[in-house]
Structure 1
Amino acid sequence: MNPFTTLTGVAAPLLRANVDTDLIIPKQFLTTLVRSGLGRHLFHELRYDPAGRELPGFLLNREPYRKATILLSGPNFGCGSSREHAPWALLDFGICCVIAPSFADIFFNNCFANGILPVVLPAEAIAQLATVEGPLTVDLPAQAVRAGNLTFAFQIEPARKAALLEGMDEIKRSEANLADIEAYEVRRRAEAPWLAISGR
């Protein structure tokens, strides 16, 4: 997982409520366990016609949004199933931050686990950001979103902020505490030897 500090880039305004995980990445693309390649199927039903041709009216098929790294959206983003392919598809497309008034809990947690920053801002603030021409900056250390003359502060749990800044996913966090884990296992075996499994 790459560290997330400050991101400046194109923000795509997909200002609709209840964007579910099936819309983000349809079920027919969930057979893979590989994270790469899913970006081309992001919002597949909105981006392509039944023959697989791009729909020119959809924003991610137009410049400058083809290169979007930030997504602006409506409330309850990421609702639906718990599929982790949804943040994988966003990240593979190039989107590293989603800004919405609210998120579905599982999707919100999956974002942090995969290095995507989900930012909660009021709908009114997001509507203002969507009108600004030019790049948008998400400053995680300062916990602020800036575009043009606009600046909006956002909240984030300190532990999650630190993990993103350091690029620490769950595996790396576990490895960082390996000595404590091993010491616990030794102590536990001594305290409750009857729990030990024969042969281990």
Structure 2
Amino acid sequence: MEKFTSLTAVAAPLPLVNIDTDMIIPKQFLKTVKRTGLREGLFFELRTDENGNPKDFVLDKPAYKEAKILIAGDNFGCGSSREHAPWALLDQGLRCVIAPSFADIFYNNCFKNGILPIALPQETVDALMEEAERGANATITVDLETQEITGADGQTISFDVDPHRKHCLLNGLDDIGQSLQKVANIDSYEEQRKASCPWV
């Protein structure tokens, strides 16, 4: 998993509430277990009409094509559990989502895949949303080490994050990476079990 330390990037505004995982990545794109190629399905119904023609969606606008931060509405990532949702966001290049609240499973899946979800009060998100609407001038910095967001106007906003999840993001550790840190202990335990219980 790629480390997350500090990110300075364009922020894209998506002022919609209750964006569920089916809106993030519709069911027809869930046939793969690969983490790549999913950006074509990201927000598919918001990006295309019933004939497959592109709509005027924020991430397709020139000012936001390189956006790495998404400012969204309340209850982001609700709905069914699907790890493809953070995979699709990552495939688009998005590394941070800021919203007033997140669905629990989506929130947890973000940390496991190298995305930093930040929950902030509604009024703070509204202010960042206004900044994001400036287009390519909406560059903000998210510093995980200091747990601070610096807006385009220089204003600094603090955010909370679980210490263990912060450690894992800073060091690029997903669940497998955390297990691999204990390889010596695992090997030692297995040798002890073989010696004490050779019949197992």
How big is each residue's C-alpha offset from its partner over 1:131-159, in whole Å with a ceiling of 9 and x where there is no partner? 22320111111101111132110011111
| Count of matched residue pairs | 194
Scaled by the length of structure 2, the TM-score of the pair is 0.91
Match of 1:158 in 2: 163
Partners of 1:15 and 1:189 in 2: CA distance: 58
Q: By how many angstroms is 1:120 displaced?
A: 1.1
Match of 2:147 in 1: 143
Q: By how many angstroms is 1:51 displaced?
A: 2.0
Q: By how many angstroms is 1:101 displaced?
A: 1.1
* Residues 20, 78 of structure 1: 8 Å contact kept: yes
Which structure 1 segments of 5+ residues have no match? none
* Residues 129, 150 of structure 1: 8 Å contact kept: no
Partners of 1:190 and 1:105 in 2: CA distance: 43
**What is the correspondence of 1:1-200 to structure 2 with a 5 Å cutoff?**
1-56=1-56, 58-132=57-131, 133=134, 134=137, 135-147=139-151, 148-188=153-193, 193=197, 196=200
1:195 and 1:38, CA in 2 relative to 1: closer, same or farther beyond 3 A? farther
Partners of 2:18 and 2:194 in 1: CA distance: 49
* Residues 11, 65 of structure 1: 8 Å contact kept: yes
Scaled by the length of structure 1, the TM-score of the pair is 0.91
Partners of 2:144 and 2:63 in 1: CA distance: 24
Which structure 2 segments of 5+ residues have no match? none
TM-align CA RMSD:
1.5
1:186 and 1:44, CA in 2 relative to 1: closer, same or farther beyond 3 A? same
Partners of 2:81 and 2:193 in 1: CA distance: 34
